[in-house]
Amino acid sequence: MTTRRNFLGSAATAIGTMPFAGATLAQTSATAEETATATPAASSYGASTADKGLDVISLPGLKEPFEAAVPEAGYVFVTGAKGDEWTLRENRRAMEDFRIITHRLTGVSPADLDLSVEILGQKMPFPFFVAPMGAHRMVHEEGEVATARGAGLAGALYCSSGASNRTLEEIAAATTGPKWFQLYFNQDEAVTKSLLRRAKNAGYSAIVLTADALGPGMPDRFRAMGAPFRPDASFGNHDPARGGTGDFFAQKADLTPADIRMIKNETGLPVIVKGILRAEDVDPIIAAGADAIQVSNHGGRQIDGVPAAISVLPLVAKAVNGRVPIIMDSGIRRGIDVIRALSMGATCVAVGRPVMYGLGVGGAQGVQSVLEALAAELRSDMLLTGARSVADLTDSYISVTGPSARMQEG
Ligand SMILES: Cc1cc2nc3c(=O)[nH]c(=O)nc-3n(C[C@H](O)[C@H](O)[C@H](O)COP(=O)(O)O)c2cc1C
């Protein structure tokens, strides 16, 4: 079995640095401030303490104010990606391969529009939710508690990352909305089972098994800065000072479909497998009992050179063939991106970095503003697409062009 430390150790040796040294140190050093539920005071690290609604012109437009609102380490950690960041850019470029073919004179009025979806028994007012993202205290002093509260204020589902700074219980208590828990499967089965038990007890209604990552993504620029994770922020769920156990970095690298079955047996909850890019991976995952598949390249944070999630979505959707719902993330920034993904077979999408922009600039209310702005944009784009409900979106609304079209040809 490849351990996280072995894996990183050899990678680190190869590049002559120790990328996770700071993070390892941080694992057991929670502060009193971190345990508090009220808005914490400013720290010497200098993360945002904002809590204000934002006038969001566009989600990408928040990147600049985000840079001004958070420490450089937080900005680089969130906005960067792996290697040359080709996949990060490709996630956006490839959206342009999916041209929207609008219907006209369809008689759809704003009052008719229905953006709601249901997935795994969960009704959602709009077809997107907050992607699992770790280490929110790199951005905001309150960390994930603020993000989850903001998601709840917008009525959005919050997916809590296994790499959160706050504990999964604190996060669960902070949101009034639905919630899923994202699992980093630990080599120590007792640790994995304890995380699953805690997630179930805290009211999470599904487990997201991340299959494409072995920890926080490390952009080159972040490593060049010395991987400056906050020394005063822990991986909350593993912090012994807060009831946690296990080594966050001891993640199981050799995952197999049998691990899906274990999660289901242990929790009785639906399991979503996140990080799928290849049609051939679908059958064994569904055979093992997966309840949904999340097409994602982790926002380009784990391996560079893989295609855009939107480019492979049609291929994965063809392989899934309606057996389970599909979620997509990586590159969602606009209402039209949601339309593109849903037309190509996704039931809903997850929004990543823009939520962090909202967190940094406006705290919980900033997150609410981001989600509501995306919903408003989607509403207007849907009306102009000519589809009455998101369920009406099919590939007839899309013309696939460019490199993405060539990928469909095989
Ligand atoms: C700062 C940051 C931390 C992340 N941490 C996790 C994580 O802990 N678990 C996980 O499954 N995905 C994680 N992701 C990936 C997101 O779930 C999602 O796949 C990605 O953000 C989508 O790309 P986009 O933000 O460019 O749209 C993280 C992403 C970011 C930006």
Please count the other Cβ atoms lying within 10 Å of the Cβ belonging to residue 32: 8
DSSP-assigned states of every residue in 188-254: SHHHHHHHHHHHHHTT---EEEE-S-SSS---HHHHHTT----TT---GGG-GGGT--S-TT-B-SS
Which pLDDT value is given to residue 34? 43
pLDDT band at 24; cut points 50, 70, 90: very low
pLDDT band at 39; cut points 50, 70, 90: low
Atom of ligand 1 nearest to the CA of 163: 8
Pocket lining: 333 vs ligand 1, CB cutoff 6 Å? no
Q: How far is the CA of 352 from the centre of ligand 1 (A)?
A: 6
| pLDDT of 209 over the 60 cut | yes
| pLDDT average, residue stretch 132-150 | 98
Q: SS3 for 188?
A: coil
Pocket lining: 147 vs ligand 1, CB cutoff 6 Å? no
| Cβ-contact 234, 166 below 8 angstroms | no
Pocket lining: 352 vs ligand 1, CB cutoff 6 Å? yes
Q: Measured between alpha carbons, how far is 13 from 44 in angstroms, rounded to an integer?
A: 32
Q: Measured between alpha carbons, how far is 292 from 289 in angstroms, rounded to an integer?
A: 9
Pocket lining: 150 vs ligand 1, CB cutoff 6 Å? no
pLDDT band at 37; cut points 50, 70, 90: very low
Q: How far is the CA of 78 from the centre of ligand 1 (A)?
A: 9
Pocket lining: 330 vs ligand 1, CB cutoff 6 Å? yes
The predicted-structure confidence for 353-367, as pLDDT tens digits, reads as follows 999 999 999 999 999
H or E segment to which residue 286 belongs: helix 282-287
Which pLDDT value is given to residue 254? 96
Specify the range with the lowest mean pLDDT, choosing from 32-41, 170-179, 190-199.
32-41
* Contacts for 193 with CB less than 8 Å, ≥ 6 apart: 266
Question: Which CATH code is given to the segment(s) 49-71+84-214+250-408?
Answer: 3.20.20.70
The predicted-structure confidence for 78-119, as pLDDT tens digits, reads as follows 999 999 999 999 999 999 999 999 999 999 999 999 999 999
The predicted-structure confidence for 69-78, as pLDDT tens digits, reads as follows 999 999 999 9
Residue extents of the structural domains in the chain: 49-71+84-214+250-408
Mutate to test the pocket of ligand 1, among 79, 85, 133 (most ligand atoms within 8 A of CB): 133
| pLDDT of 32 over the 60 cut | no
Which pLDDT value is given to residue 35? 40
Q: How far is the CA of 301 from the centre of ligand 1 (A)?
A: 7
Q: How far is the CA of 51 from the centre of ligand 1 (A)?
A: 23
**Predicted TM-score (pTM) above 0.75:** yes
| Cβ-contact 277, 306 below 8 angstroms | yes
Pocket lining: 299 vs ligand 1, CB cutoff 6 Å? yes
| Cβ-contact 356, 136 below 8 angstroms | yes
Active-site residues, by number, are: 298
Compare 7 and 358 and report the one with higher pLDDT.
358
75 phi and psi angles, rounded to 5 deg: -65, -45
Q: Measured between alpha carbons, how far is 369 from 366 in angstroms, rounded to an integer?
A: 5
Give start and end residues of each alpha helix (H) in 28-101. Answer: 32-35, 63-69, 72-79, 86-93
